[in-house]
Amino acid sequence: MIRSRFPQRPSQDVSTIAGVMQRLGPAIQAGKTEEAEKIVEEALKLLGEKDK
């Protein structure tokens, strides 16, 4: 069984964040660091972690 390092929060839909994170790898591999940073910012915003 594989466990996430970060437990899922109650009633949190992970499909939205998963879709965002799927874009991260290709952006990094293509050397698009500014795009990758925007993707990370978007993911953090979705998780409610931005500006903490």
Domain boundaries, the chain: 15-47
Q: Which region holds residue 48: left if phi is over 0, alpha if psi is between -120 and 50, else beta?
A: left
User: What pLDDT, on the 0 to 100 scale, is given for residue 16?
Assistant: 85
| Residue positions counted in the chain | 52
The angle formed by the CA atoms of residues 25, 27 and 32, to the nearest 5 degrees, is 145
**16 and 46 Cβ atoms separated by less than 8 Å:** yes
**37 and 21 Cβ atoms separated by less than 8 Å:** no
Q: What is the pLDDT of residues 1-52, one digit of tens each?
A: 455 565 555 556 778 888 999 999 999 999 999 999 999 999 889 888 655 5
Closest CA to 18 of 46, 38, 41: 46
